[in-house]
Amino acid sequence: MQVPRFKPSIVALAVAAALAAGCSDLKMPGVQDAHAAAPATAAAAAPARQLPDFSALVDEQGPAVVNIAVKKDPAAVALRGNRAPGDEELREFLRRFGLPAPDRMPQPDREAPAQGVGSGFIISADGTILTNAHVVDGATEVTVRLADKREFKAKVLGADAKTDVAVIKIDATGLPTVKIGDTRKLRVGEWVAAIGSPFGLEHTVTAGIVSAKSRNLPDERLVPFIQTDVAVNPGNSGGPLFNMNGEVVGINSQIFSTSGGYMGLSFAIPIDLAMKVKDQLVAYGKVTRGRIGVVVQQVTPALAESFGLGTPRGALVSNVEPNAPAAQAGLQSGDVIVAFNGKPIAESGELPAIVADVKPGETATARVWRNGAERDVKITVAEMPAERATLAAAPAAQQGKLGVAVRPLSADEAKRLQSDGGLLVERAEGAAAKAGMRAGDVILGVNGKAVKSIDELKSALDAAGKSAAVLVQRGENRIFVPVQIG
């Protein structure tokens, strides 16, 4: 896509302003120093920087973006904990658009159906549309408004809360459609644009760059989000995220905010994941996923050093569920999964989605780093339940050279924490506190060796050298904590 250059007059004005201010040392890109011996034509011939122009993208792809209005049962909304925007949020919205705010804000009618607004995009000319599951969750009526102002009632074909993807359908033909891109080719730093209906303002275009990929958010382990700095606000949910080729690379889904508005971080569901979910929803009305029964965490440089891994990569197994496929295949806490079914794992957040994509009952191959070498482990993948039960859990910890006071778990504590042993941290100081350990953590192992007594912990620390990967349980999670003890 062609993008405009800076106009020469703008560069000339910038240089003139700098010289007028006495900034003779200022050098602009593509502009020669006034005292240089190079001919003046060299400056004119130097290329100027380019800025992106999204106008062609909007003209071509905008017609396939839709506004979605929903009515919801107020009782269902109350049960889900949804709420209407507060007084302060509404006042701020009115202020930003130069509108006066009344002294008393109108209160929602509790008996009237709750209403919401979102966005979506047409993926097939017969009226199939992708949006977010939370946009249509609990909806009793869904209305789709096209760019040409036509309105249609829509049917929800299926919704998947785990990935926040929904498919809806309107009775129409010959509709404009978006182009589907490849998230794998998306690069951090490249320009992207969103089209949606923030606050109900239809076909609003915002732009920014990709800030990060494969970003995991709390309770969203199946989605390796695309993080951007594109301005996304309530109403953008379900709208498309485009690359500069005019291809959809994601579905705008969430924002990070303490106020309810945009604060510089927005997150999109990768389109390749969304399309796989769509295929299952259309075919079966639900999504089946594979699971192997492990909890994983990121491999930090310190943990990579502790495990002799070299460069940080893969997904570190911090917990293996009893009798789960991973346990039956011999996977252990402390293993680092560096590839799954031939797909390299660079970040721990990539693994859950890759495993979920495997059909239950199939045999997968996990390449594992253990004891300084790689090995292949065959795992028969099971089906993920619709709702996973939360594992009972306990805290995590360390001691000895670590600078903590510990004691063995009592029988009641071990039973409550579903652990066959460990050491409860009562006080954390020194290296342990610096690494993030705290009272209430429970130490389970050091560098892959289980510890159930103070003597075993001391022995493991003596053999660890200058750094140790301490397996701890905290709350509902088991994690490895890298501690420098040298």
Task: Identify the active-site residue in 119, 211, 237, 419.
Answer: 237
Residue type, 105: M
Using CA atoms, how far residue 174 sits from 64, 122, 128, 142, in Å, is 11, 11, 11, 21
Q: Is 35 a catalytic residue?
A: no
Task: Identify the active-site residue in 119, 134, 253, 335.
Answer: 134
What pairing do the DSSP bridges indicate for beta strands 373-380 and 240-243? unpaired
Q: Give φ, ψ of 464 to 5 degrees.
A: -80, -25
Q: Which two tokens stand for residue 145?
A: 């408004």
If 0-12 CB within 10 Å is exposed, 13-18 middle and 19+ buried, where does residue 35 land?
exposed
Distance CA 137, CA 70 (A): 9
Distance CA 71, CA 136 (A): 9
Asked if residues 135 and 238 have their Cβ atoms less than 8 Å apart, the reply is yes
Task: Identify the active-site residue in 137, 160, 164, 335.
Answer: 164
Q: Give φ, ψ of 58 to 5 degrees.
A: -65, -40
Distance CA 233, CA 192 (A): 16
What pairing do the DSSP bridges indicate for beta strands 442-446 and 467-474? antiparallel
Q: Is 9 a catalytic residue?
A: no
What pairing do the DSSP bridges indicate for beta strands 247-255 and 179-180? parallel
> Which residues have a catalytic role annotated?
134, 164, 237
